[in-house]
Structure 1
Amino acid sequence: MPRLRISPEGIGTHFWLVPDNKPAYAIEPDDLDLSDDLLDRIEAWSDAFDAIFDPEDPKGSRFPSAEAEVVWRAEGQMLVAAIRDELDDDWDIEARF
């Protein structure tokens, strides 16, 4: 069963394919069989993370407010649900954010 991990870990690095017994590797959401509308939502969600990510101090990266972070995380959970709906049931999807 293919496993998709959604885990923002750097600018533009948010989606990972996790093969059995091998290291995860970054993929583009465009590589998945997702609708254009969902890809647009993913891009906006990813852009919001990229805007606050500091590559020189990743742990110091912060949203401008607690409310902004809550909204971003909630949209991430809704995206996970939408991705599950659009991908085959054989996919295992995990979120780390």
Structure 2
Amino acid sequence: MIERKQLKGRTQVTFILPEATPDGPVSVVGDFNQWNPTAHPLEPRGDGTRAATVTLPARSALSFRYLAAGDYWFDDEYADSHDGVNSRIHT
């Protein structure tokens, strides 16, 4: 799931996954963090999910994916679109 909050000239985006699906640590990586797997790890929340929040420029389109333990890459089914390789988000 992806949540958005509009700010002045920016969009705060929260990437959300179930707490244990997939097992182990997961990071969101993409254009916004130079595909760095240590930049935005998903952290557990009290509601049984885990999430990472990033602030992105408004009116932009960026590619991203999730990276889980064991070099397991996967897309977000709730992304705005997919380009064949990556999930895409439009702010």
Fold conserved (TM > 0.5)?
A: no
TM-score (norm 1): 0.29
- Whose RCO is larger (CA < 8 A, sep 6+)? 1
Higher strand share: 2
Higher helix share: 1
TM-score (norm 2): 0.30
Q: Which has the larger radius of gyration?
A: 1
